[in-house]
Amino acid sequence: MTTWLLVARPRGDEARERGRALTDEALLALGEEGGAIAAVDAETIYEVDLEDDTGDVDDATVDIFRRLFSDPVAETFHAGPRADGALPPPPEAAESAPVRTVIVRRRAGVMDPPALSAVEALRDLGVAATDVRIARRYFVRGTATGGALSDEAIGRLARRALASDVVDEIVIDAATLPARPPAGDASAPGSRRREVAVRELDDEALAALSRDHLLALDVHEMRAVAAHFRKLEREPSDVELETVAQTWSEHCKHKTFRGVIEHVTEDADGVELDRRTIDDLLGRTIVDATTAVTSGEDGRDDCVSLFADNAGVVRFDERLDVCAKVETHNHPSAIEPYGGSETGVGGVIRDILGTGQGAWPILNIDVFCLGPPDLPADELPEGSLHPRRVLAGVVAGVRDYGNRMGIPTASGALIFDRGYVGNPLVFVGTIGVIPRGRSEKGARPGDRIIAAGGRTGRDGIHGATFSSLELTSESETMSGGAVQIGNPIEEKKVADVIEAARDADLVHSVTDCGAGGFSSAVGEMAEEIGAVVDLERAPLKYPGLTPAEVWISEAQERMVFACPPDRVGELRALFDAAGVETTDLGRFGADDRALVVRWEGEELLRLGPEFLHDGLPRTRKHARTVVPTLAPASETLAQLDAGGEPLGAELRAILGDLDVASKEWVTRQYDHEVQGLTALRPCAGPRAVGPQDAVAVVPRPRSTLANEAKAPAAVVVGLGLCPSYGELDPHAMAMAAVDEALRNVVAAGGDPRRTSLLDNFCWGDPNDPDILGALVRTSEGAADAARLFGCPYISGKDSLNNTYRTAQGERVSIPGTLLVTAVGVVDDAARLVSMEPKAAGEKLYLVGVTRAELGGSKIAGIRALTRAAPPRVTDRAPIVLGAIANATAARLVRGAHDLSEGGLAVAAAELGIGADLTITVDLAKVPWDGGGAAATDRALAFAESTTRLLLSVDPDDAARLEETLTGAGLQAGRDFAAVGEVVAAGEPGPRLTVTGLAGDAVIDEPIDELREHWRAPLYRVFGQQPPTPTPLGG
Amino acid sequence: MTENVAALILRAPGTNCDRETVRALELAGARCDSVHVDRICTAPGRTDPAFSLDPYGIVAVPGGFTYGDDLGAGVILGNRIARALGERLAAFVDGGGIVLGICNGFQVLVQAGLLPGPDLRGAVTLAPNRSGRFECRWVHLEGATDRSPLLERGAILPCPVAHAEGRLAVRDPGVLDELERGGQIAFRYVRPGCDAQPVPHPFNPNGSAGDVAGICDPTGRVLGLMPHPERNVEPFHDPLWTRRRSDDALHRPGPGLELFRRAVAAAPGAADGEEAGVALHTAD
């Protein structure tokens, strides 16, 4: 083998140009010590292994190297035999500042897509390359006065800004590039049955076995395993034990949600008020509510597939159904934010690809709950990454996967709370479309098991069980294998084929390899019929994996197809043409419906479905709810008005709060327009800065409708999550989250009667009765909301054990968090409404009642309110949202925006920001129900009562709007009122003017200032300024 | 229309704007074949002998991240095309064919040496954005040449950009002058209502030299641009479409369609004097 070493180094001007962003990042990472850095720039180093018989590397080959690995305009290029790996000296700098170098490269065995592409490209151009390794070398220049960076600082910089310890190797100040050991171990015995003795173990030994093997099974479950194999009169193989652990993981089986819960309700003094046994919490709440709203003559009849598949499926139009799935990828993202969020996105996209016989993804969703990005370094728990780093990493991961796959990422949310510091939450979702009738699926006996996509490696071992364990300060080192880097182009290649394969009837069933890898994918598909797998056929990234590792590896970008045996050639030919590797792993169907795994003929696993799928012992857990004692409204209102800043100052404080502030820094990094289907973007209005409530996509634009005499229909996606209400009342929090998600859909022109829901629970330690009690109440709230609005849940996921043990041993659970995703169908895309008022002269209607609901609100945080009542959804909510939907359907609404965090004042400010027009609001006109307590300016301006929207209405349509609302059962003055106007901007610019109950202007602020105040915070986190808002109107 | 124009949409692993590019060309009246590059380049450096560009009047390379942009934007596909198809594409253009590269397709055409053309080979590149980040936003383009049949000098076209490596950089400042003299600067980023130069971020979204958004070859028949005109062909593509009051709001095609119509009109296969394109209206 010959190895060449190639170096591409940016030329002077280019080095400075490219170095600017790197330098900014480095300064930010080092904080106060960043002053010691003058500049950072970087070059790329390639090691190319050539086949033995290549002989001399001729000039033509060097020219190919040059063209593939360097840019003639921007870079200089060095090429030569590797020899001892000597690197060219660092570039001269104008000022003779001392320089330190940092080499960063992927650890052996970690996915490195560019390296794989480089090998393929070289071979395609006729160069016999066998391997390429890529490294980046950073040149970190100290200042002339400060000298070079210290060892400590350069190490910290490398780990914080340049590399990810988990997946990267860091080499500092090396003049030569050290050789990297090969991944895998060719000499390791790969193929033998390994038995694990369990039958004679006592409880202590069983618990130790579970812990040592990262099985995440408790002692009851381990006992059931031991008993099963005693009955079989043999010991399990390691493959069998791992399979049981994967199949029985909390991640796959939802043990808590499906188990038995003893729930006690107490008052504040510990007096028991109620006691009940809940057998199957998920069944009694989410599932029962969905059954209720989809049954009976008036029941919803647009559900196609509920909870049965990788995604929920509902009717869309004459030809298509729409499918939706939202997942979490919390623990991997805590350890390696970029790879964690990236592979989370990749996984949820595969859920859509693996829905029915294969669906096409059209929209991505991302929601992050993170610690505050300005957290002081000394408050960071040991072993945790700083929230700012997590934020940068998870955004980059979602960006790179979605942008590269060509799926618009347009719907999202971002919440910051100290409770997420040690255990950030990363929700990722995908919406897809599938032709009607193609959601039916099922492997049949005799079908071949065809694996397609990436190869299997040691990466991603134990993801399913890892996600079921708590994070500790050692998780990073312990579970590095659970963290991976994605390869979106590999997945895109699979996606490019999936529709053709489906439409040619080549697919009886398909699913993705997610948690548990082949064990879960094949296991689930074979649940009813069994399967025989010849595992040694699985293609590997490198040698040396044990059969158990091959079976449970969660290596990314793999899918499993059930293909009729006489059609296998066609399926594989389709994949071949797209450059996707396929493997025939065996057949579906086995005696006694058993799952059988063989390695070169030797049987490593044989488990029947009655044990594997039904043998899991039910868990029995205890839960407690303490009824909160809340302050009466009068007390809260008095507390609210005691002291305090002028309302304008409080409004600015809330607009500058990161939860409320513009998310533009994130959304501009996402391609929210690719595929050309996006009809409502995250950024609304003539300056493209308005915070759009719900985004919309048009899956079949008019250009594809051919001769169909119909308008294109749209999918609208809204999100709801309000963890801040949960501490006061988890039931109210859940209902508020559903209400918020539906409000967003309605604001965009959707209708609750055509909207379906997804639930994602992220919770702490389910063995803590109070935390489990909150989960019970949240689930009940989510179910009650579904019944109230008549909206089914079509898909959901729970992630428990989101806890973190600090180095001091203190155990921290995250705030219980429910994300509700609402997916609405709008039959005529022309009915879509963007959030901003469209013209001066429009009237502003506030629909919905304001109450003294300030608990968990933004103003409560500022005014330090205690025990204030959180917002509650009333029985009138579906009437309110239905009435607004009628109005948008009649095209009577020019702009609509929901009231959420910060209440009316924030919503009104956002209207002004979105429209670039003056907004006036008269608080005296706001419909108020204080339960006897008189309204105050502050409560009217900042209360966060649910089910409220601001509509801007053409004055010519005002009478018809009022008729429509009253016709739907609302009462003017009580349920809605005209509260303000849209006015042409005066000099020097538009204003927000809010008139108080006494008739004086309690808020009078220039919109331009509010806008920049609201846009800046997230940019400021990264030391940047928001760009000038681009006028779209020309 | 008496004769149909056929367009070849060249795909590779990671191409992801092929569907909307097909839709735009179909709306403009072309018949489209979406073809994976492996079907043409069947073996290292080899081209399928049965493959011919003759049936086509247009070759379009859509946006995306071909081969992940793993060795730089458009590098791998550009080199593959140059090696396997370079001569045929040159002959195709000589014969009056239209070659259009959008976003990643532009980067591919530069890497393949088709842009700016043989005399300025290796003089222009598309480098990382000045902001160091991927950016997705709407910008305004101004047609800057009379040379290309695909655009009108002075016409303003709003459309989105979505890229991380779109900063046009030149070997030396003289290259910009040469491009200008040759009429090869096709589109410039402009700030509406403001003539000051250089155009600041975000109006020039990536820091391109000379505010250049797209260039053509000396014939004007090979055009590459970073922004996405195919994302401004449907009525709802206009980010302000919800401001329109009439039902017409969802029927008027976006101004980006004009570029595709011109491409179809200029491509061999189109009959003279016939207006290309199909009506966007369906029965209402």
Average confidence (pLDDT) over B102-131: 95
> In chain A, positions 520-549, which contact chain B (CB-CB < 8 Å)?
none
Chain A residues with CB under 8 Å of B110 CB are none
pTM beyond cutoff 0.90: yes
Of B75, B134, B234, the CB nearest to A669: B134
| B247 contact A CB<8A | yes
Q: A61 — contact with chain B (CB < 8 Å)? A: no
Q: Which of B121, B137, B232, B242 to substitute to test the interface with A, most A CBs within 10 Å?
A: B242
Q: Which of A745, A889, A892, A882 is nearest to A825 (CA)?
A: A745
Q: CA A233, A239, A240 angle in degrees (round to 5)?
A: 40
What one-character-per-residue DSSP string does A599-613 give? ETTEEEEEE-HHHHT
Distance from CA of B196 to the nearest CA of A (A): 15
Report, as residue numbers or ranges, the catalytic residues of B.
Answer: 103, 228, 230
CA distance B105 to chain A (A): 14
Residues 839-868 (A) with a CB less than 8 A from some CB of B: 839
Q: Which member of B23, B36, B39 has the closest CB to residue A704?
A: B23
Contact (CB<8Å) B23/A675: no
Phi-psi region of A417 (alpha: psi -120 to 50; beta: other; left: phi over 0): beta
Q: Residue B278: what pLDDT?
A: 36
Across the interface, which of A21, A118, A579 has its CB nearest the CB of B70? A118
Phi and psi dihedrals of A108, rounded to 5? -55, 130
Minimum distance, in Å, between the CA of residue B208 and any CA atom of chain A: 12
Query: Are residues A681 and A672 in contact, defined by beta-carbon separation less than 8 angstroms?
Result: yes
ipTM for the predicted complex: 0.94
Residue in the structure block whose two tokens are 């897509």: A113
Give B 175-234 residues with CB within 8 A of chain A. 192, 200-203, 207, 228, 230-231, 233-234
Tokens of A297: 């003559």
CB spacing of B13 vs A493 below 8 angstroms: yes
On whether the CB atoms of residues A725 and A872 are closer than 8 A, the answer is no
Amino acid at A837: P
Q: Do A698 and B236 touch (CB under 8 A)?
A: yes
Interchain contact, B38 vs A577, CB within 8 Å: yes
What local confidence, expressed as pLDDT, does residue A482 receive? 58
Say which of A488, A698, A830 has its CB closest to residue B249. Answer: A830
Query: Right CATH number for B2-266 from 3.20.20.150, 3.40.50.2300, 3.40.50.880, 3.40.50.300?
Result: 3.40.50.880
Q: Using one digit for the tens of pLDDT, what is the confidence trace for B155-193?
A: 999 999 999 999 999 999 999 999 999 999 999 999 988
Token pair, residue A17, equals 């140009």
A37 to chain B, closest Cα gap in Å: 19
Substitution target from A124, A557, A826 for chain B, most B beta carbons within 10 A:
A124
Q: Can you list the positions of beta strands (E) in A173-330?
A: 260-266, 272-279, 303-305, 312-315, 320-328
Q: Given CB atoms, is A955 within the 8 Å cutoff of chain B?
A: no
**Span of A304-313, A457-466, B38-47, B64-73 with lowest mean pLDDT:** A457-466
The partner residue sitting opposite A675, judged by closest CB among B19, B36, B38, is B19
Per-residue burial over A114-141, b if 16 or more Cβ lie within 10 Å, else e, is bbbbbbbbbebbebbbbebbbbebbbbb
Residue B273: pLDDT band with limits 50, 70, 90: very low
Pick the residue from chain B with its C-alpha nearest to A914: B240
CA angle A490, A493, A497 (to 5 degrees): 145
Residues in A closer than 8 angstroms to B207, CB to CB, are: 17
CB contact under 8 A, B171 and A20: no
> Tokens 């996915």 — which residue?
A111
Number of C-alpha atoms within 13 angstroms, CB side, residue B50? 2
Give the whole-angstrom CA distance, residue B133 versus residue A138.
18
How far apart (Å, rounded) are the C-alpha atoms in residues A163 and A298? Answer: 57
- Find the CB nearest B127 among A14, A404, A680: A14
CB within 8 Å: B136 and A673: yes
A488-503 helix and A337-353 helix, angle to the nearest 10 degrees: 0
User: 3-state DSSP call for residue A237?
Assistant: strand
Q: How close B109 gets to chain A, by Cα (Å)?
A: 14
Question: How far apart, in whole angstroms, are the C-alpha atoms of residue A485 and residue A555?
Answer: 9
Pairing verdict, β A928-929 and A817-826: unpaired
Q: Give the distance from residue B26's alpha carbon to the nearest chain A alpha carbon, in angstroms.
A: 8
Q: Which amino acid is residue A1001, in one-letter code?
A: A
Q: Is the dihedral of CA A598, A602, A608, A614 positive or negative?
A: negative
- Which residues of chain B are within 8 Å of residue A45 when distances are taken between CB atoms? none
DSSP track, A316-329: -SSSEEEEEEEEE-
How confident is the prediction for chain A on average, in pLDDT? 92
Q: Which residues of B touch A577 (CB under 8 A)?
A: 36, 38-39
Using the 8-state DSSP alphabet, how is residue A539 labeled? -
Q: Which residues of A touch B200 (CB under 8 A)?
A: 1028
Q: Please count the other Cβ atoms lying within 10 Å of the Cβ belonging to residue A268.
A: 9
Distance CA A766, CA A983 (A): 53
Cβ-nearest to A669 among B71, B133, B201: B133
Please judge whether A487 and B68 are an interchain contact, meaning their C-beta atoms are less than 8 angstroms apart: yes
Other beta carbons less than 10 A from residue A541's beta carbon:
18
Q: Residue A543 has what pLDDT?
A: 82
Distance from CA of B64 to the nearest CA of A (A): 7
Among B71, B123, B237, beta carbon nearest to A121: B71
Q: How many C-beta atoms lie closer than 10 Å to residue A600's C-beta? A: 13
> Which residues of chain A carry a pLDDT beneath 50?
476-480, 1034
* Inter-chain CB proximity B171 and A125 less than 8 Å: no
* Dist. CA A907–CA A733, nearest whole Å: 20
Q: In angstroms, rounded to a whole number, what is the distance separating the alpha carbons of residues A287 and A294?
A: 11
Nearest chain A alpha carbon to B194: A1034
- Among the listed ranges A467-476, A572-581, B16-25, B200-209, which one has the minimum average pLDDT value? A467-476
Share of chain A above pLDDT 90, in %: 76
Interchain contact, B67 vs A17, CB within 8 Å: no
Give residue A475's pLDDT.
Answer: 52
Grouping H, G, I as helix, E, B as strand and the rest as coil, residue A150 is coil
Residue with tokens 């992927």: A106
Asked if B162 and A1028 come within 8 Å (Cβ–Cβ), the reply is no
> Chain A 362-401, CB below 8 Å of chain B: which residues?
399
Nearest to residue A912, comparing CAs of A986, A834, A846, A1010?
Answer: A1010
Contact at CB, B127 and A17, closer than 8 angstroms = yes
Show which of residues 100-139 on chain B sit within 8 Å of chain A, judged by CB atoms: 122-125, 127-128, 130-139
